[in-house]
Structure 1
Amino acid sequence: MTALDRPFDLRPLDPVRSIKMKLGLVVFASLAVGLLVATVSLQLVGTGTWWALAAAMTAALVLTQVLAHGMTSPLRQMTAAAAAMAAGRPAPPVATSSRDEVGRLARAFTGMAAELAAADAQRRALLADVAHELRTPVAALRAELENLVDGVRPADGPALAQTLAQAERLGALVEDLLDLARAEGTDGLVDPALVDVGALADDVARQVAAAHGVPPVVVLVAPDLAVWADEARLRQVLTNLLDNAVRHGSRDGRVAVVGQPAEDGGVVLEVQDDGPGIPAGERDAVFERFRSGTTPGAATSTGGTGLGLAIARWAVQLHGGRIGVVPSGPGCTVRVELPARPRRAGA
């Protein structure tokens, strides 16, 4: 609202819930004021008929302008806010106390502008995070290759292994970014089917342990436990959770997958490790993008891209389930709750 708007921005009709009722009241008030002014002019002041008619019309127009100015104030504010958004500037909030259709539109516009601003901030943060995450493996890979090309270091097994490790980390980041892009552009399950949870957990646990060269992951899944789910997405969830547990667990420590049926017919899965755990204030934040780092006492440098848990949360929510870090003893426990039936595509 500009300084010129404020002195005339009277809104006595804001409590009225209908714009049609407001227009009717404006017409009625204008006619009433016009008749009153005409009567006063003719009977008390004694002006001529034409002067009384002119005074009545002027008074009616002034009252209409005052009331209409307040009614259309949110529209002017939305126009200014839309122009600011088009120019790439933050949209100012639309101030209104109107309860009619224009007021509801103004509040919806303010909410939309806030969501767009938040989405733009997230996009900028994501670009910055991606650039930061890509810079480290690319710089390390370039340094290794420069040393090999310049003859500073011979192209022996350890040098090539380090180069391959950096290339693999870069590839893992690209794969996670592709998964995240699919997560943001997909709103349904691809192929829900009855999944043998025990067999799937055994297979994923074996692959993760072999990839990290750690002791076997303990699988404690109830016999014949099954759930309707997208097997590829559920495999992705378990892989990311176990990978995170192995990275943050203690050296040669115990990592376990525990599965039990839920009371509502669904499944409860827990991935447990004996690492340093997660502080209570960080238990929600770990599912945000690019939350990674080196954990003291971990089996290895975490080395993750910080996208695994964010992707796991997306996949679980895609099924209509829940995921979170639950209080436990030493270490960390991530619990996944899946419903008996997943939400189908387009549901």
Structure 2
Amino acid sequence: MPERTAAPLPPPGPGDEDPDLLLRMLCHEFRTPVGALAALTRALADDRRPLTPADRRELATLARDQADHLQQLLRRVVAAGGGAFALVAEAEPTVPLGRILPQVAALVPAGRLRAGTTRRAGVCPVPARRTRQVLVNLVENALRHGPPDGTVGIFATVRGAGLTVLVTDEGGSPAPVIEALRRPVPGAGFSGLGLWIVRRLVAVDGGRVTAHALRPVGVGVEVVLPATGPTVPAPPAAG
């Protein structure tokens, strides 16, 4: 079991209205879907990774979703009229978590993925756009900060009333992740900005984010969301 190291969510600080912070948020938000589209292009061109028709459908779905995300960002910028841009707690459709996980897993190069999802976790309804954005951010972070050939893990389960998704890599100390999660506002530049955005998005849905130091080596970021709605199909009515 990983050694749990909690990184509690501080209340939003006054820096949320800092124009420089908002500009960096916007740049980061564009960078994530663009990076995801680049990774999808590499996956489609990777001859070492034979793609089944199901794989191609998942990649195409994720590419469409990231393109839609870019269009939504553009609409929000236009609506703001060049003013404040922020993460908005918009109502959005829910989908089973199991529909999102294969799309996100497709970002991990062949041979580097470890994954496991319980049946209950797979059917939990989650906000489609925010959950996809959170997991894409975490997987890209794991790929960027882990060793070049290291394993990336994506695991999901239900514990009590919480849906838990854990993204792991084989990087070094979790201290930078913990620090990024504890900051009321991110530091200068883009360092820790993605994790700060993840924390804000998860908080919109009443969830929390914690960091784990893994043994013998590695870092895990755990997202816990309320497990809303039926998590297993209802049993058939007695006849």
TM-score, normalised by the number of residues in structure 2: 0.56
Contact 1:286-1:309 within 8 A present in 2 as well? no
Structure 2 distance, partners of 1:248, 1:316, is 21
- Counterpart of 1:11 in structure 2 is none
Which protein, 1 or 2, shows the higher relative CO under an 8 Å CA cutoff with sep ≥ 6?
2
- Code of the residue aligned with 1:200 in structure 2: it is I
Structure 2 distance, partners of 1:287, 1:245, is 22
- 197-206 or 177-186, which moves further after superposition? 177-186
- Counterpart of 2:115 in structure 1 is 219
Helix, strand or coil for the counterpart of 1:315? helix
- Counterpart of 1:270 in structure 2 is 166
Structure 2 distance, partners of 1:332, 1:227, is 25
Choose between structure 1 and 2: higher strand proportion: 2
Change (3 A) 1:222 1:288: farther
Structure 1 distance, partners of 2:102, 2:137, is 15
Contact 2:22-2:86 within 8 A present in 1 as well? no
- Cα shift at 1:234: 1.1
Q: Given the alignment, which residue of 213, 221, 230 partners 1:327?
A: 213
Contact 2:174-2:213 within 8 A present in 1 as well? no
Contact 2:174-2:212 within 8 A present in 1 as well? no
- Code of the residue aligned with 2:136 in structure 1: it is T
- Counterpart of 2:146 in structure 1 is 249
Structure 1 distance, partners of 2:23, 2:169, is 31
- Code of the residue aligned with 1:274 in structure 2: it is E
Helix, strand or coil for the counterpart of 1:186? coil
Q: Given the alignment, which residue of 204, 213, 225 partners 1:338?
A: 225
- Counterpart of 2:18 in structure 1 is 123
Largest Rg, 1 or 2: 1
* 2:91 pairs with 1:192: no
Change (3 A) 1:291 1:273: farther
Q: For 1:1-347, list aligned pairs within 5 A.
A: 118-119=14-15, 122-126=17-21, 178=73, 184=86, 186-193=88-95, 195=96, 197-206=97-106, 208-209=107-108, 213=109, 215-225=111-121, 226-264=123-161, 266-279=162-175, 282-285=179-182, 288-289=185-186, 292=190, 307-329=193-215, 330-341=217-228
Contact 1:321-1:338 within 8 A present in 2 as well? yes
- Cα shift at 1:308: 2.6
Helix, strand or coil for the counterpart of 2:228? coil
Structure 2 distance, partners of 1:233, 1:279, is 26
Change (3 A) 1:291 1:256: farther
Change (3 A) 1:204 1:285: same
- Code of the residue aligned with 1:202 in structure 2: it is P
- Cα shift at 1:130: 7.4
Contact 1:287-1:309 within 8 A present in 2 as well? no
Choose between structure 1 and 2: higher helix proportion: 1
Q: Unpaired runs of 5+ in structure 2?
A: 1-12, 32-66, 230-239
Change (3 A) 1:214 1:244: farther
Contact 1:267-1:339 within 8 A present in 2 as well? yes
Across the aligned residues of Structure 1 and Structure 2, the Cα RMSD in angstroms comes to 4.0
- Code of the residue aligned with 2:214 in structure 1: it is S
Identity %: 27
